[in-house]
Amino acid sequence: MAEDRATMDETAASEPPYLRSAPPLARFVFRGDAMGEAKAGEAFGLGFPEAINRAASKGERGKPGGRVALRLGPDELLLIAPVSEGQAVFAAIGTACTDIPHALVDISDRHLGFVLEGPDGADVLNAGCPLDLSLPAFPVGMATRTLFHKAEIVLWRMEPRLFRIEVGRSFAPYLEASLRIAMNEAR
């Protein structure tokens, strides 16, 4: 049994990190007070995380119907949904918050997403990100706005070896090239 576990650990450690583009998604920034968040969360079909730098998700990642809310500030949430549901989400939140001061901005075309997977993913990210991305310091479910070299990113740890990276469209080629360099150096 111990030999099997040691072999699995060696195999996992020898896997290189894997970077891929995320599928097209609908993305919104929502800002509002507690009442607005409650109404928007109900319309979105997902309770928003209360703690800053935390994520809440519903549905299987990468599958239709999956929704994500990332709390990036005291009154700022990045909402992510399948692109096919984008217009319905925008309309539902707008209707739910009609009489409540709020801001809802569609940023679907502004951002692109990447997924970085593998045992050395945190090390690859630390080649350009100043945060401590060890599992105790940046646990599963944590999400934050940070930098990767010169590019502002939103980083979410989905699983121990799985990161989601959101970046402005104009920085996406730079970010992808920089991550690939870091991946090659990690090998």
CATH match of 25-106 with 3.30.70.1400? yes
CATH superfamily of 110-186: Probable tRNA modification gtpase trme; domain 1 (3.30.1360.120)
Whole-model pTM: value is: 0.87
Q: Where are the domains of the chain?
A: 25-106, 110-186
Q: What is the pLDDT along the chain (187 residues), one digit of tens a residue?
A: 444 444 444 444 557 789 999 999 999 999 999 999 999 999 999 999 999 999 999 876 544 458 999 999 999 999 999 999 999 999 999 999 999 999 999 999 999 999 999 999 999 999 999 999 999 999 999 999 999 999 999 999 999 999 999 999 999 999 999 999 999 988 7
CA triple 46-58-122, angle to 5 deg? 115
